[in-house]
Structure 1
Amino acid sequence: MRISTNQIFMRGLNNMLAQQMETLKLQQQMSSQKKLQSPSDDPITASKIDLMKQRINSTERLQKNRDAALGAISYEESTLSNMINVLQRVREIQVQAGNTSLSEADRKALGEEAESLLGQLQGLANTQDSNGYYLFSGGKTSTQAITRDVGGQFVYNGDETQRFQAISGGLNVAVNDNGSDLFMRIPNGNGYFTVSQTVTPNTGSGTVNSGTVVDVAAYIPDDYTLQFVLNSTNELVVLISGVNSGPVIPPTGLPDDAPLYQAGNTVTFNGIQVTITGNPDVGDAFSIQPSQNESVFSTVDRMVVNLKRPFLTAADKAVVETENHQLLDQLDAALDNILAFQSQVGARLNQLDVAEQVNGDVLQTSQETLSSLEDINLAEVAVKLELQQVYLQAAQQTFAKIQGLSLFDYI
């Protein structure tokens, strides 16, 4: 087979150009330290590189979200801890207030401290973050959470929005709790019903404890009146009736069928049990009503009012003692509620720890994969480049010799 001079020339030229291209490719890799200089070099690998970069960017955004969530949740946890400390001191004062030997001056001093603590509670409920946003206003972060209206009632001005933040693949975490759930929905009394004196002040020293529901299935919520009257033999008896239930004790509603009053008696009816102590007068009465939601601020405010009540006569002390029972139960309920939310916040902090670990693992794996796809082995490419330069030099020398060949040299 004959090969023309032109074919020999073109083959030599193409070989030299190929060696030049390969040398240039290796030089570019050494300069950029990347395997691919453009997607067209290896479209499949380029696609994998883009996917890894997207995964890394997404995970880094999630990690930033996680860090922001950590700041918000940690701030809430700290604020709730402070509120719990304040409430525990309020509860201690309420326990002290149960000491009937306290003087009015002692009670006034306790009331002033409780009033100061109430201000601290309201201030903590209106805590703002570093951006000036209110922690407990739900979605209305620019609105103060708790204020007092002209009537002295505590008002929640936020909404019930709970905001969530994506912190890891498929994992969102709540970054706030609203003040309505935290502070405003505490059932008063024992959580089922509340006990108080009726509108007409009692004159005796009888008191009724906060009671309990001993049979939930038998419990009938109603507005009950527990009253002390005389039977036909001038003995003090207990009558209980409900607005909807009618006469309960006794079912006939007749004083002669009613049980005699004895101090320390426990009375059970419609699933309810209360204990009566002291010496009530004829006509004294107590109201037993279904629990309603009350804010923790209103409860502490009631406590302040109760501490400042007259505390001289037996009747004065009976009013205070009956209210004491209610207040202690409600403070416990408020504490339990905030402690429950603090526990939830702690669980969220644990989620953030998990997210940090997961995000770190994803980033490490993705970065290692990306490096294997796009980064060169510097030593390996350096050796290849040195060898390639030898190939290029040989190709250039060969081409130069072919270019100078002529038949006239052999004549």
Structure 2
Amino acid sequence: MISDAQFAQTAIRAFTRQDQQISDLQTRLSSGVNDPRVSADPARAMELSALRDLRSDLSTQTDIGRIAADRLAMTDSVLSEVSDGVRELYRISLQANNDTLTREAHGALRVQAETLRNTLLAAANATDPQGRPLFSGNAPGPAFVNAPDGVRYQGDNSATAIQMGRNTLMQTGLPGGQVFGDGQDSVFALLDDVITGLSDPVLGARDTVRANQQATLQLGIQDDPITFDIAGPEGRTLVQLPLSAGSEAAQIAAINSVSAQTGVQAQAAPDGVGIRLSAAGDMTLSNQTSPMGNLASRPLVTLQQLDSDGTTTSDPVALRPAHLERQELLARSSAKVGHMAEMHAAVGALGSTLDSRLEQIAETRLTVDQAMSRLNDVNVAETITRLQTLLLTQQASQQSFVKIAGQSLFDYLR
């Protein structure tokens, strides 16, 4: 049999458990949060843990994405400045392609081109808010350096990228070699050529040199041969001439080897200086290039008109190397304007793609937050119903305990 003391202790422990359950429910209602203990609901706890891990990963992606967005915004700003600079370069090339300009005007254009070169070099070596170069790829240090032979690219020509998610790689920049070019194709080589074209001795040279019937041809000396177009009464063709010292005989032979195609003949000048050219009409020389790929930075060909008795009638006129021809510089400048517009648009597209990805992450985070809220937040209606049930149960239990505890042996014997 259970004694009155044992019965009372059992009832008190039951009442205590009910009080604790009621207190817990009241606490949840006041805080609005479910019991965080794993033991309270293991399945819910596991789901919450997975959602917290996912949210942490999304937060990390967001932080990385915002840094990348700042980098792309900086790149976009720099390329906007560079695009303006390249348009300025085109304007300089266009104005330089004007034979009526004075030497002072050409000198002013040269100063503008030199200033622009420094400005674009500084832009090409710009860094992002983290201090990393924008255009050197994954290589450390400045993307471009001033070398004796001009501005040289020293990046690794790779496109920077970040990992956003397990299977998502987002590009965060463009290779400097792609944006500014490298070697002779770079915007800096073009600027150097424009500056050279605005400086002596190239400034006074012409894209095409002409003479009638007789002229003296003088050639510079260098190790590599040159080629140029020679035209006369019979037509036009390309001729290659050696320029090494003592090669005058080979030069005359090369010109005479195509005389049937041009109508231009060559012989040693009577005074031993230069080569005498003769034709039954006009002669023109143009398109001076190097078959070895070494582009000359100075004129190597000059032509001087002679009268019928062989005396000079004008000053010698130098021939511009083909890559320094005014029309060529203008065409290259125009191409750079279009190219830089494409690069600017490409960076804009990368920024737009990254913004879309960040929006997707934000939407996913919102969904995760809502799921976590549903798991964390207490169900008010359900909890109130359960609390009311516990209160009624407690009240009934207490009434039963009082009634049973108040009975005596005589109450059972009646």
TM norm. shorter chain > 0.5: yes
Identity percentage of aligned residues: 22
Match for residue 217 of structure 1? none
Larger Rg: 2
Any unmatched runs of 5+ in structure 2?
A: 187-192, 194-201, 210-224, 243-255, 265-281, 300-313
Please tell me whether the aligned partners of residues 29 and 36 of structure 1 are also in contact (alpha carbons under 8 angstroms). Answer: yes
Equivalent positions of 1:163-202 (< 5 A) are 163-167=160-164, 170-185=167-182, 188=185
| Distance apart, 1:255 and its partner CA | 2.7
Q: TM-score, normalised by structure 1?
A: 0.68
Q: Which residue of 2 aligns with 1:139?
A: 138
Contact 2:138 2:158 in 1 (8 A): yes
- Are residues 290 and 79 of structure 1, via their aligned partners in 2, closer, same or farther at CA, if it must alter by over 3 Å? farther
Letter of the 1:155 counterpart: R
1:162 aligns with 2:164: no
Is 1:287 aligned to residue 289 of structure 2? Answer: yes
Partner of 2:375: 373
Equivalent in the alignment of 1:309: none
Partner of 1:42: 41
3-state SS, counterpart of residue 258 of structure 1: helix
Deviation at 1:171, TM superposition (A): 2.8
Distance in 2, Cα, partners of 1:406 & 1:313: 144
Unaligned residue ranges in structure 1 (runs of 5+): 195-200, 209-222, 244-252, 262-278, 295-301, 307-311
For 1:97 and 1:334, how far apart are their aligned partners in 2? Answer: 17
For 2:93 and 2:322, the matched residues in 1 are separated by: 11
- Aligned partner of 2:60 in structure 1 is 61
- Using structure 2 for the length normalisation, give the TM-score: 0.68
Q: Following TM superposition, by how much is the alpha carbon of 1:116 offset from its aligned partner in structure 2, in angstroms? A: 1.0
- Evaluate the alpha carbon distance shift between residue 86 and residue 131 of structure 1 in structure 2; reply closer, same or farther with a 3 A threshold: same
Q: Distance in 1 between the 2:323 and 2:292 partners?
A: 20
Match of 2:102 in 1: 103
How far apart, CA to CA, are the structure 2 residues paired with 1:204 and 1:178?
37
- Shift in Å at residue 386 of structure 1? 4.6
Give the Cα separation in 1 of the matches to 2:26 and 2:71.
50
Count of equivalent residues: 344
Alpha-carbon offset, residue 123 of structure 1: 1.3
1:288 Cα deviation after fit: 5.7
Change (3 A) 1:120 1:322: closer
Partner residue in 1 for 2:74:
75
CA shift, 1:169, in A, is 6.5
RMSD: 4.4
Say if 1:87 and 1:115 are closer, same or farther in 2 by CA, change over 3 A: same
Indicate the SS of the match to 2:136. coil
1:77-106 deviation per Cα after TM superposition (whole angstroms, max 9, x unaligned): 110110010110111110111111111111
Say whether residues 1:406 and 2:408 are aligned partners. Answer: yes
Change in Cα spacing, 1:49 to 1:258, as seen in structure 2 (3 Å) is: same
Kept in 1, the 8 Å contact 2:230–2:262? The answer is: no
Shift in alpha-carbon separation, 1:374–1:88, aligned structure 2, 3 A = same
Which is worse superposed, 170-179 or 16-25? Answer: 16-25
Measured in 1, the distance between the counterparts of 2:322 and 2:382 equals 89
- Alignment partner, residue 50 of structure 2: 51
Deviation for aligned residue 1:349 = 1.2
